[in-house]
Amino acid sequence: MNSESTLARLQATLPDGKLPSSYGVYFKNTLVALCHALEDHILQTSGGDKSELQPLVLVTFQQGKWYLQEADRYLDIANASRHVVIGAVADSGFATHKTGQLENVSLINLDENDPIIEEWNLIIVAPTYKAMVLCRELSAQEYLPEGKPEVDTERKFYGLWSFDQSLVSAAAEIFIEQTRHYNSPLAESLLEMYHEILATIGPPLADISGVVSRIVTYLQSSQQQMVAINRQTRELWELEGQALRVSRNLNANKLQAFLRMAQRVDERDTSNPTASLQVAALSETLGQLLDLPALQLRRLRLAGLLFRVGLVSAPNEVFDRTPDAFDQATFSFWRDRSFIGSQLLQAMPELSPVAEIVKHQLEYWDGSGRPEGLRAETIPVASRILGLVADFQELTQPRGERPALSLSEALEQCRELSGTRFDPALVETLSNVVRLAEMGLMQLPTRPSQLPNVWLEDLGDRTTATAPAL
């Protein structure tokens, strides 16, 4: 990463110097989709008479050929925003376009020697939410040995997207400081506006689950376009063991958003930061003991990694207290987490079987669960496994004022719910596994036998140092 890039400067402000798990290398189409989703959120939520709730939008465009299209789009965005700052090279056309003539649009003509012209950034700061996408294309050296692609859709970028308030605020301050080099009075004005937004007391933070849903929808549509023109069909990867083979890079980008969301949930849950890995691993073990077919095992393993994706925009209270201490709004979110997760995953048709597993993980053996009240063996067996393992694993980790339970204590609580919440046969299978582990005859797995290549970010440290219970 270039040390002068916005990403590098942001990284330098972080206490541990570590960017969040959404940071990685993305295809251009994926990042275009992410930006469009966030821009759509502005258009859909920032209109009306409540101008004090409208966002400050800070954007830089990489030197390229799509300026006119973006200028047209930003005319609507500016009309829904408090102020828009656009950084681009002088010949971008923004100055003569009607967008550039608006009073609440400020243009910065970037110097062609400024490293920022290789960046493409979108930062949104509003009283009710904050969001950003930061991107910088790989250098010619980093594209070796093949060299920089000639096909636009094959270009790759270091990218970071986030809804974290402190992270987005830090990026906004970096942007404003970079503006000072070009227009000091504008920088002062932006800084004043930025602090006004921070001080604005508005309604509760906006629910960004809709944004996330639109992100994956855009990812789906943009990557479908990529199929038709991507020359890299020689790099194939089989998803879920099916005969259908598609581009390895395409599938990685589709899954990347979901897996990064799952990582983000784990990252927010400081009491249980390896839940996805442990649940996937133990679910796979139970599935093997039940002699599930290989295809079903692969789906169960992936469902384990993604079982908490419905909590990606959950309030912090979900992670620092037990459900009996939730307020009504938080409890409703918690209660519907499996359905929310399945709706997100349904945006990718190839994941429909996995989405069904996630959807029914909270169905109860006696029919009193959610979302459809399925009973006994009408509940998919993979969902029964996932629900039992997720509950067991959660009990082995501390939550709020509840301490972590031992394996036998957690198992006993599951036994008490056998025949009402859980499948009695599965509880017995789990009992056998725990018994063998306590006798020292086996070790409970901490990660599944296989992980998608896109499950990144120092898993070695996270699966060994922070997961003693399982």
Are 362 and 230 spatial neighbours (Cβ–Cβ below 8 Å)? no
Query: Are 314 and 403 spatial neighbours (Cβ–Cβ below 8 Å)?
Result: no
What is the DSSP secondary structure assignment for residue 84, as one 8-state letter? E
Q: Check: CB of residue 306 under 8 Å from CB of residue 258.
A: yes
Cα distances (Å, whole numbers) of residue 331 to 70, 268, 285, 381? 41, 18, 31, 26
DSSP secondary structure code for residue 320 in this structure? H
* Number of residues in the chain: 470
Cα separation of 412 and 395, whole Å? 11
Please say whether the dihedral angle defined by the alpha carbons of residues 169, 33, 139 and 72, taken in this order, is positive or negative: negative
Asked if residue 180 lies in contact with residue 108, where contact means CB atoms within 8 angstroms, the answer is: no
Lookup result for tokens 């997961």: 467
pLDDT at 457: 42
- For CA atoms 448, 451, 456, 460, the dihedral sign is positive
Q: Tell me, what's the pLDDT at 381?
A: 97
Q: How far apart are CA 417 and CA 415, in angstroms?
A: 5
Regions of the chain with pLDDT less than 50: 206, 209, 211, 213, 216-218, 220-250, 456-470
For the record, the structure tokens of 233 come out as 């069909």
| Phi and psi angles of residue 154, each rounded to the nearest 5 degrees, phi first | -95, 0
Looking at residue 365, the DSSP 8-state letter turns out to be T
Instruction: Label residue 146 exposed, middle or buried (CB < 10 Å: 0-12, 13-18, 19+).
Output: exposed
Q: Which of 211, 204, 249 is nearest to 27 (CA)?
A: 249
